[in-house]
């Protein structure tokens, strides 16, 4: 009894370690084999265990992964919410425990269907169940599809699967490879070893396919402005003129020389209606100089007898005179809990005497919105967290899109790994859909990403600067842009049906 008790503690320690190791597979570390080691640990530790043992192993593995991989959430919540330190810590702990429920669910169901090591468990059932639990994690409540292991392959050997089956398909493939490793270790199976080798070498034939075509004749110079404005300054209305001057002074040398200038999310930290004078004056200057500015701004619109504040992107300047009612714009659809809205607002407001809620309640833009027309180019827009939402980006993508444009403000994450994880997901969107990305962040990472998901140029974090680069738009549709991840779900359902028929 004591021996079994101590052995379980060893398993829990190993599961915590293997879960934490998964974080190393993501940016900025980019040690992609760590994804296989982490998933291998999860699968091998749950073999031939009781329901109580696998529950603990799955949950603790999740604590290891999410506790190390999203610890930056504390910095973000503390910066946004204005709540006491203890409450912030409890919120983060609750969030990590909540996310850890999904690997716990995976291990319980996997153990129920296939307890012993066999090809069926390792290569058929495990990938299918993982696909389902990861889908639930990315969908329930607001969804949080962060740290999906497919992102680890942005610079890995499965990279060129992205234009075919997307990030979920890559994650599915990683689970198959991990299962084959477990099977090869326990069964000394040569066929499993050969299958692993073939899957890891699949990028060689796939890299020969060109799913998109660069349009070199339509190349355009763009300037991405990184203001490096501290979050505290954005909250101080006395600093508004200083912030506007920072962006205009950084942009001035490029007005008339660069056709498109891009400012980051909420670069103008005030309501658009309050800035009509500034916008009209600056718009006139841009029209005279044949330059267009794309910027993030807040906007209040009357809807259902009340004003809703929207996190927006607007376009103005040459050939697109600014007009508050008609200017090309995008309104953020997916809002961040505690950052842009308060979950369970009516309940939490009971604690106003103990907790400060300085956050404005924002409005939701439409789920499907038109492309931003910027000069002669069509841009697929997203703001900050939205680029993580694979399905939303896919649903809003159009064949006539020239670039993705992502405006972000990662200053809330401090000097954590979050901005690097964030831009890695933007790289995956470019890979999946075959379009370059213009990634503009307040304090970095500000970068240009090509249609192969490679960062071709960026400027350092935490400095004021301007990134100027010639960007080549692309045309053409990847298999993923045509069919999405239907193939992954077809295989998932087939695997599960195979398991059911195998049993009965």
pLDDT of 426 > 50? The answer is yes
pLDDT value of residue 141:
83
pLDDT value of residue 231:
80
pLDDT of 200 > 70? The answer is yes
Helix H or strand E segment including 69: helix 51-69
| Residue 303 annotated to the active site | no
Bridge-based pairing state of the strands 260-262 and 403-408: unpaired
Q: Are 272 and 299 in contact (CB under 8 A)?
A: yes
Across 475-482, average pLDDT: 97
Across 11-28, average pLDDT: 97
Instruction: Write out the DSSP string of 255-308.
Output: TTT-SEEE--TTSEEEEGGGGHHHHHHHHHHHHHHT-EEEEEEEEEEEETTEEE
pLDDT digits (tens, 9 = 90+) for 350-386: 555 555 555 555 678 999 999 999 999 999 999 999 9
pLDDT value of residue 338:
57
* Active-site annotation holder among 134, 332, 340, 386: 332
Taking Cα atoms as reference points, which of 432, 390, 385 lies closest to residue 134? 390
Residue 479's pLDDT band (cuts 50, 70, 90): very high
- Token pair listed for 168: 């979920």
User: For residue 356, how many C-alpha atoms fall within 13 Å in the half-sphere facing its CB?
Assistant: 10
Bridge-based pairing state of the strands 372-374 and 377-383: antiparallel
| Residue 384 annotated to the active site | yes
pLDDT of 504 > 80? The answer is no
Rounded Cα distance, 340 and 363, in Å: 9
Decide: pTM greater than 0.85: yes
pLDDT value of residue 339:
60
Direct distance between the N- and C-terminal alpha carbons of the chain, in angstroms, rounded to an integer: 36
pLDDT value of residue 502:
66
What percentage of the chain has pLDDT greater than the value 90? 73
- Token pair listed for 397: 């993508």
Alpha helices in 114-235 (DSSP H): 119, 126-137, 162-187, 190-200, 203-206, 231-235
pLDDT value of residue 207:
85
| Residue 386 annotated to the active site | no
pLDDT value of residue 355:
54
pLDDT of 129 > 90? The answer is yes
pLDDT digits (tens, 9 = 90+) for 258-313: 999 999 999 999 999 999 999 999 999 999 999 999 999 999 888 777 788 999 99
Average pLDDT, the chain: 91
What percentage of the chain has pLDDT greater than the value 70? 92
* Active-site annotation holder among 234, 384, 386, 432: 384
- Token pair listed for 163: 């234009």
pLDDT value of residue 1:
47
pLDDT digits (tens, 9 = 90+) for 303-349: 777 788 999 999 999 877 888 887 789 999 988 765 666 555 555 55
Rounded Cα distance, 361 and 341, in Å: 5
Most confident of 362-366, 408-412, 446-450: 446-450
């Amino acid at each position: 009894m004591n021996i079994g008790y101590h052995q379980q503690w060893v398993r829990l320690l190993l599961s915590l370690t293997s879960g934490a190791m998964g974080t190393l597979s993501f940016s900025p570390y980019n040690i992609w084999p760590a994804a296989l080691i982490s998933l291998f640990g999860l699968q091998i530790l749950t073999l031939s265990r009781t329901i109580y043992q696998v529950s603990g192993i799955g949950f603790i593995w999740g604590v290891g992964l999410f506790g190390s991989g999203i610890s930056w959430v504390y910095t973000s919540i503390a910066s946004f919410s204005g709540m006491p330190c203890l409450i912030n810590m409890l919120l983060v702990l609750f969030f990590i425990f909540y996310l850890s429920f999904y690997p716990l669910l995976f291990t319980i169901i996997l153990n129920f269907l296939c307890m012993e090591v066999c090809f069926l468990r390792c290569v058929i059932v495990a990938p299918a169940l993982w696909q389902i639990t990861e889908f639930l994690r990315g969908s329930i409540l607001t969804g949080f599809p962060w740290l999906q292991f497919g992102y680890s392959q942005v610079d890995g050997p499965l990279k060129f699967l992205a234009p075919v089956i997307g990030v979920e398909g890559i994650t599915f493939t990683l689970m198959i490879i991990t299962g084959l490793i477990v099977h090869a270790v326990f069964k000394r199976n040569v066929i499993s070893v050969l299958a692993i080798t073939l899957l890891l070498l699949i990028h060689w034939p796939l890299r020969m396919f060109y799913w998109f075509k660069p349009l070199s004749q339509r190349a355009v110079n763009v300037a991405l402005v990184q203001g490096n404005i501290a979050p505290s300054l954005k909250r101080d209305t006395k600093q508004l003129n200083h912030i506007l001057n920072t962006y205009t002074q950084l942009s001035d040398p490029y007005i008339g020389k660069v056709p498109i200038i891009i400012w980051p999310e909420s670069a103008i930290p005030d309501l658009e209606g309050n800035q009509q004078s500034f916008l009209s004056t600056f718009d006139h200057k841009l029209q005279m100089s044949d330059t267009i500015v794309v910027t993030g701004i807040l906007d209040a619109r009357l809807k259902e007898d009340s004003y809703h504040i929207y996190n927006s992107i607007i376009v103005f300047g040459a050939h697109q005179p600014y007009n508050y009612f008609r200017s090309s714009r995008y309104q953020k659809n997916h809002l961040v809990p505690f950052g842009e809205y308060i979950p369970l607002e009516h309940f939490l407001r009971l604690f106003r005497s103990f907790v400060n809620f300085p956050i404005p309640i924002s409005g939701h833009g439409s789920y499907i919105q038109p492309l931003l027309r910027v000069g002669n180019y069509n841009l697929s827009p997203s703001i900050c967290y939205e680029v993580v939402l694979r399905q939303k980006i896919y649903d809003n993508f159009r064949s006539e899109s020239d670039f993705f444009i992502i405006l972000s403000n990662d200053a809330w994450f401090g000097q954590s790994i979050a901005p690097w994880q964030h831009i890695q997901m933007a790289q995956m969107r470019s890979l999946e859909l075959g379009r370059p990305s213009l990634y503009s962040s307040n304090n970095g990472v500000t970068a240009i990403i090509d249609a192969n998901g490679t960062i071709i140029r960026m400027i350092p974090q935490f400095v004021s600067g301007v990134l100027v680069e010639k960007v080549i738009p692309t045309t053409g549709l990847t298999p993923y842009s045509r069919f999405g991840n239907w193939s992954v779900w077809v295989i998932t359902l087939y695997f599960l049906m195979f398991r059911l028929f195998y049993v009965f």
